[in-house]
Amino acid sequence: QVQLVESGGGLVQAGGSLRLSCAASGRTFSSYAMGWFRQAPGKEREFVTSINWTGGSIAYAASVKGRFTISRDNAKNTVYLQMNSLKPEDTAVYYCAADRRPIISSNPDYWGQGTQVTVSS
């Protein structure tokens, strides 16, 4: 069993930055692929980024590539999402996810409760 708790969301102006954190507890954190998804009002949940257990394989959605950076610190059982050059269309609830698979799937095994990110124009 794995528990995930996101933090760091908030309100920021377009062009600004936020850093999200996802603290994990339970079974060995380093054994899981980790990722971030987001869901805006009236929209389907979408993939944002993922990182494998070693940190050596990273993927980004085209909409955030070059602006967002995912990282993980296995010693702290934490994954981060650095969000730069934020746009109003980035406004969404951001969910941390963990997956026993080596690569994050569209239906990860575990989800956090979500943290709201709002970008004003």
Give the model's pLDDT for residue 29. Answer: 64
pLDDT digits (tens, 9 = 90+) for 15-37: 999 999 999 987 666 678 999 99
Task: Supply angle C-alpha 106, 112, 114, rounded to 5.
Answer: 100
- The edge-to-edge listing of strands for the beta sheet with 18-26 is 2-7, 18-26, 78-83, 68-73
pLDDT digits (tens, 9 = 90+) for 70-111: 998 888 889 999 999 999 999 999 999 999 888 888 899 999
Judge whether residue 114 has pLDDT over 80.
yes
Give the model's pLDDT for residue 18. Answer: 98
